[in-house]
Chain A
């Protein structure tokens, strides 16, 4: 049988017709908002509060973190009206803004910018324009298990940033707390992401990216970076005080919660995360630093941005404007305890939530030691390669060779932004 041109054209026409029927049926009146996969009860109340006030619905699609980034790539690169608004990871602001995926917010929030902590605005800014509004910020602190310290007869670390531990001290304490016979480790980093680990080379004095924000060679594989990451590797491979291959927050959290880990460097979200462990008695201390260098802490968090191609521009703007209000930010802090980006919340809660030593530490770090990740349009690529390199270093790969390869790969990808 021959399939003739006529049959072929008939098939094509049918397909097109079916397509257009589908199109006519799709009319949406809600804002589409890809969101982080936080538990439903930490997301829905925020959207419900906005709907109650304005009548505009927000369909928050809770996605696991890796899929959130991948999905945003696909949707944004499709360059159409979806999504309306989306969560922007602070350091990705430049990447989205450079590719035209974010609306400039300066005009809209012109009278409001004073209300934010300046350090939180930095990561939402690219090319001196604000593209993504900070919903909060973050810092990392040292959590320690009080029971394990008491058992080993060790004094608890001080919560005073002025008496901050050095990494050298932390190592010797970790050695005293490591007991291989019962699989107990002294210390761990919550995960293996550049967000958390870049504080090591930065405290050592390393510049982690070139001044043009596009050069990795000589920085990602610079001597200071190699030395600091060698120290990190020795923690796992030579001194064996840190567990190997625990790359995920969920896993290290369980180890700390079940008393198999004496100290963990982690974010403030652990305050909620550790609640599920009954009988866990933990204390907090500031992030350690290298004696030869300066204290540096990771920072940055989630921002919100508007897709410039949205078909619901007014509603999207209303949502972002509403999120910048005191009430919305206060509710958001109730739901997820990220250090707030509005000064007002800090002031209002100064005598209630923030008397805890944790928040005193957080406040100090945000003012003095918080160091944002590189503001490069290629942060996505930078982070991907560096994260893999850091995982390889954790499990014992040659440090210099690994970082050389990462630098080479990053530089290759950065070429498109030059």
Chain B
């Protein structure tokens, strides 16, 4: 018990500080959650009179949620879920294949191509939105699921992650399999991919969240209300001249909760990749 961290007052100080930090991080979220179950006209009152009222609604109501469920929001959730899951499905396969190629094969222009991959995720989206839009229009894809999904499938960051992982697998594995007559695709599908679950989980999550949070591109490329995604539906509660705070808070809450589900499902894998990434 020589560990100085075990002394009671040090412990107290440590947990005290951590509690304060936790409060600062959690409080706005709690307030958001509570605001969504308040009657509309009460949302802002307790902000200025800070006290118990700030935490406890005088009347608990699900009106805001009820209104949401009767409006466009369920459609937006359906759209976002479809778009995000499809992107994950295709994204993992395509990016893993690309990462595998970069890690295993040697071909002319490989370094230049890889540099382009890196540049692609450093590039701010606003810089490419115009040419991308022109291209999507030329394909006749404006206002379609393709417009929302296809540009997001290839993701430089995910290719990079896969490349790093596949490069860490000893080349002997691959060569042994080649000697036994396995095709490269067989090696990819049966040897490399099964080893890379943590990377698949991480990249899947990244792709999912990128789509779940995407806002500007859906607004530009598919603003038809039939293709509205979650973030666009949330933003519809705000306009220049009046805001529907209840709807805004309720929809934000739902978006956060639903967006957390995939993370909770594959949390274990996610943490493991971060750790293994740290050792290398």
A-B complex is real: yes
Are the CB atoms of B242 and A67 closer together than 8 Å? no
Using an 8 Å CB-CB cutoff, how does the interface string of A20-49 with B read, 1 for contact, 0 for none? 101111100000001011110000000000
CB contacts (< 8 Å) of A26 on chain B: these are 140-142, 144
B29 at the interface (CB under 8 A from A): no
Distance of A290 from chain B, by nearest CB (Å):
27
The chain A residue sitting closest to B132, CB to CB, is A74
A257 at the interface (CB under 8 A from B): yes
Q: Which of B43, B140, B146 contacts A24 (CB 8 A)?
A: B140
CB contacts (< 8 Å) of A312 on chain B: these are none
Q: How many residues of A contact B (CB 8 A)?
A: 50
CB contacts (< 8 Å) of A39 on chain B: these are 239, 244
A269 at the interface (CB under 8 A from B): yes
Using an 8 Å CB-CB cutoff, how does the interface string of B40-55 with A read, 1 for contact, 0 for none? 1101110011000000
Q: A28 to B235, alpha carbons, bound, how many Å? A: 26
Are the CB atoms of A74 and B241 closer together than 8 Å? no
CB contacts (< 8 Å) of A80 on chain B: these are 134, 137
B19 at the interface (CB under 8 A from A): no
A276 at the interface (CB under 8 A from B): yes
Q: A172 to B107, alpha carbons, bound, how many Å? A: 77
Stretch at the interface among A97-105, A122-130, A248-256: A248-256
Q: Which of B105, B220, B240, B244 contacts A1 (CB 8 A)?
A: B105
B138 at the interface (CB under 8 A from A): yes
Q: How many residues of B contact A (CB 8 A)?
A: 40
A331 at the interface (CB under 8 A from B): no
Q: Which of B44, B129, B219 contacts A254 (CB 8 A)?
A: B44
Are the CB atoms of B225 and A61 closer together than 8 Å? yes
CB contacts (< 8 Å) of B242 on chain A: these are 249-250, 253, 269, 272-273
Q: Which of A3, A37, A59, A74 contacts B107 (CB 8 A)?
A: A3
CB contacts (< 8 Å) of B223 on chain A: these are 34, 61, 63, 71
Q: Given A63-B219, A64-B236, A255-B44, does the pair A269, B241 have CB atoms closer than 8 Å? A: yes
Distance of A104 from chain B, by nearest CB (Å):
25
CB contacts (< 8 Å) of A18 on chain B: these are 139
Distance of B163 from chain A, by nearest CB (Å):
16
Q: A36 to B138, alpha carbons, bound, how many Å? A: 26
Are the CB atoms of B245 and A23 closer together than 8 Å? no
Distance of A147 from chain B, by nearest CB (Å):
15
Are the CB atoms of A71 and B220 closer together than 8 Å? yes
Are the CB atoms of B130 and A77 closer together than 8 Å? yes
Are the CB atoms of B142 and A82 closer together than 8 Å? yes
Are the CB atoms of B45 and A258 closer together than 8 Å? yes
B197 at the interface (CB under 8 A from A): no
**Which residues of chain B in 100-135 are interfacial with respect to chain A, using CB atoms and an 8 Å cutoff?**
105, 107-108, 129-130, 133-134
The chain B residue sitting closest to A62, CB to CB, is B236
Q: Given A37-B235, A62-B236, does the pair A74, B138 have CB atoms closer than 8 Å? A: no
Are the CB atoms of A258 and B105 closer together than 8 Å? no
**Which residues of chain A in 63-118 are interfacial with respect to chain B, using CB atoms and an 8 Å cutoff?**
63-65, 67, 70-71, 74-75, 77-78, 80, 82
Q: Which of B130, B137, B236, B244 contacts A82 (CB 8 A)?
A: B137
A212 at the interface (CB under 8 A from B): no
Using an 8 Å CB-CB cutoff, how does the interface string of B238-262 with A read, 1 for contact, 0 for none? 1111111100000000000000000
Distance of A398 from chain B, by nearest CB (Å):
29
Q: A90 to B140, alpha carbons, bound, how many Å? A: 32
Are the CB atoms of B220 and A37 closer together than 8 Å? no
The chain B residue sitting closest to A36, CB to CB, is B239
Are the CB atoms of A74 and B220 closer together than 8 Å? yes
B224 at the interface (CB under 8 A from A): yes
Distance of B214 from chain A, by nearest CB (Å):
13
21 contacts between A and B (CB under 8 A): A1-B107, A22-B140, A23-B138, A24-B140, A25-B140, A37-B235, A62-B225, A67-B219, A70-B220, A71-B219, A74-B133, A75-B133, A78-B130, A80-B134, A183-B48, A249-B240, A249-B243, A250-B243, A250-B245, A254-B44, A258-B45
Q: 4 new A-B pairs (CB below 8 Å) besides A257-B41, A260-B48?
A: A1-B105, A3-B107, A64-B235, A267-B241
The interface of chain B, by Cβ under 8 A from chain A, is 40-41, 43-45, 48-49, 105, 107-108, 129-130, 133-134, 137-142, 144, 146, 184, 215-216, 219-220, 223-225, 235-236, 238-245
Q: Which 8 A-B pairs have the closest CB atoms?
A: A250-B243, A26-B140, A183-B48, A23-B140, A61-B223, A269-B241, A254-B44, A65-B240
